[in-house]
Amino acid sequence: MLNQMVQIINKNNLIEKGDKIVVAVSGGADSTALLHGLYCLKETYDLELYVCHLNHQLRGEDAEGDADYVKAFSDQLGLKSYIFSKDIEALAREMKMSFEEAAREVRYELFDYVLNETGANKIAVAQNMNDQAETILMRLFRGSGLEGLTATKFKRDHIIRPLLGIHRRVIETYCKEHGLMYRTDHTNFETDYTRNKIRLELIPYIEKHFNEKVIEKLFDTTQLLSDDLKFIESYVNDIYNRCVKEESVFLSDLELDDAILSRVIRKIIDQQVSLKGVSYESVKEIMDMVRLQKHGNEKNVKGLVFKISYQQLLFYKDCSKGLESTRFVGNYDYNGIRLEQLGSVDANSSEIVTVDKDKIKGSLFIRTRKPGDRFSPLNMKGTKKLKDFLIDLKVPAHLRDDILLLCDEEQIIWVAGYRLSELYKVDSQTQNKISFKISKIPK
Domain boundaries, the chain: 2-216, 244-317, 326-440
| Backbone dihedral angles phi then psi of residue 153, each to the nearest 5 degrees | -100, 155
Yes or no: domain 326-440 corresponds to CATH 1.10.3720.10: no
- Provide the residue-wise pLDDT of the chain in tens; the chain has 443 residues: 999 999 999 999 999 999 999 999 999 999 999 999 999 999 999 999 999 999 988 777 888 899 999 999 999 999 999 999 888 888 888 878 888 888 888 898 999 999 999 999 999 999 999 999 999 999 999 888 888 888 689 998 899 999 999 999 999 999 999 999 888 877 666 666 788 899 999 999 999 999 999 999 999 999 999 999 999 999 999 999 999 987 889 999 999 999 999 999 999 999 888 888 888 899 999 999 999 999 889 999 988 889 898 899 988 777 556 688 888 988 888 888 899 998 777 777 889 999 999 999 999 999 999 878 899 999 988 899 999 999 999 887 667 888 999 999 999 999 999 999 999 999 999 999 999 999 988 76
CATH class of 244-317: alpha beta
pLDDT at 296: 86
Q: By the 8 A CB rule, do 128 and 166 touch?
A: yes
46-93: per-residue pLDDT in tens?
999 999 999 988 777 888 899 999 999 999 999 999 999 888 888 888
Long-range CB pairs of 98-107 (<8 Å, 24+ gap) are 99/58, 103/54, 103/56, 105/329, 106/54, 106/329, 106/330, 107/24, 107/54
- What's the pLDDT at 60? 78
Vertex 167, ends 164 and 171: CA angle to 5°?
95
DSSP tag of 245: -
CB atoms within 10 A of CB 344: 15
Pairing of strands 405-407, 352-356: unpaired
SS3 of 188, please?
Answer: helix
Interatomic CA distance for residues 320 and 305, integer angstroms: 11
Q: H or E stretch including 370? A: none
Total Cβ atoms within 10 A of residue 270: 14
Amino acid at 176: K
- CA dist 143 and 125 (Å) reads 26
CB neighbour burial string for 209-242, b if at least 16 within 10 angstroms, e if fewer: eeeeebbeebbebbeebeeebeeeeeebeebbee
Structure confidence at residue 321 (pLDDT): 61
Pair 122, 21: CB distance under 8 Å: yes
| pLDDT confidence of residue 184 | 80
What are the tens digits of pLDDT across the range 224-275?
A: 999 999 999 999 999 999 999 878 899 999 999 999 999 999 999 998 888 8
Integer CA distances (angstroms), 54 to 86, 109, 111, 364, in order? 7, 11, 10, 21
Closest residue by Cα to residue 277 from 285, 268, 269: 269
Q: Distances from the Cα of 317 to the Cαs of 174, 237, 368, 443, in angstroms? A: 52, 22, 15, 17
Homologous superfamily in CATH for domain 2-216: HUPs (3.40.50.620)
Are both 2-216 and 244-317 of the same fold?
no
Return d(Cα 353, Cα 217) in angstroms, integer: 51
* CA gap 51, 36 in Å, rounded: 11
Q: Which helix (H) or strand (E) holds 414?
A: strand 412-415
CA geometry: angle at 265 spanning 260 and 266, to 5°? Answer: 95
pTM equals 0.65
The pLDDT score that the predictor gives to residue 400 is 84
Determine the pLDDT at residue 187.
Answer: 67
Closest to 329 (Cα-Cα) out of 27, 21, 70, 97: 97
Query: Which distant-in-sequence residues (6+ apart) come within 8 Å of 429 by Cβ?
Result: 356
Nearest Cα residue to 266 out of 249, 252, 284, 253: 284
- 8 A C-beta contact, residue 332 and residue 427: no
Q: Which helix (H) or strand (E) holds 300?
A: strand 298-301
For position 398, what pLDDT does the model report?
Answer: 63
Residue 272: the pLDDT is 86
- Fill in the DSSP letter of residue 1: -
What single DSSP character describes residue 68?
H
User: Is beta strand 312-317 parallel, antiparallel or unpaired with respect to 304-309?
Assistant: antiparallel
3-class secondary-structure state, position 417: coil
